[in-house]
Amino acid sequence: MKVIVGLGNPGQEYKLTRHNVGFLVLDELARRSASPFRKNWWIPVQTAKGMIGQNPVRLVKPQTFMNRSGRAVEPVLRKAGGKTDDLLVIFDDVALGWGQLRVRAQGSAGGHNGVQSVMDALGDGAFGRIRIGIGPKPDSVSLSDYVLGPFSEAERQDLENVVCRAADAVEKVCTAGIEQAMNCFNRG
């Protein structure tokens, strides 16, 4: 079973912020497979079970806040009987232009505290990831204010397209493998 984690922050005040694009992609995947999210009473996550193609998946939204995501991801992966190569993490990236996608089989945290938390909890960075570009922060704004800020008007107009393309990338990883997904989505 593939465990697909979208990184974000719980709560209505963060719902439509740049840092929550991982949650938005999982919401789209849950919509496509008609799989509702449910609260887990033992682990601080919301999960949905579904299918992508012929492959069973578990969609996971940590409810620990971004910088502590690993505290939720590690027990979910352990309970699912998965290994790090069964894990796919979706998150925002200020190093990529708005809407750009990068699919990778593994890598560093790249300065992303949520990814670093997952790596620290697992003791391993050998898990798949899909980085979603939210664009560089303006010089006049702190990084935390930028990622926790709402999407701009132009971003909101394109958000559905970006989220759908990222969900398509997740589906490609699950049905054709990460190499094929990299070939299809790592352009531009």
Strand arrangement of the beta sheet that strand 38-39 belongs to: 38-39, 45-52, 55-62, 2-6, 87-93, 128-133, 101-104
Set 6, 7, 17, 19: catalytic member: 19
102/41 Cα distance (integer angstroms)? 33
Scored b (16 or more CB within 10 A) or e, 166-180 reads bbbbbbbbbeeebee
81: how many CB neighbours lie within 10 A of its CB? 9
Record the tokens describing residue 117, joined without a space.
């938390």
The verdict on whether 112 is a catalytic residue reads no
Catalytic residues: 19
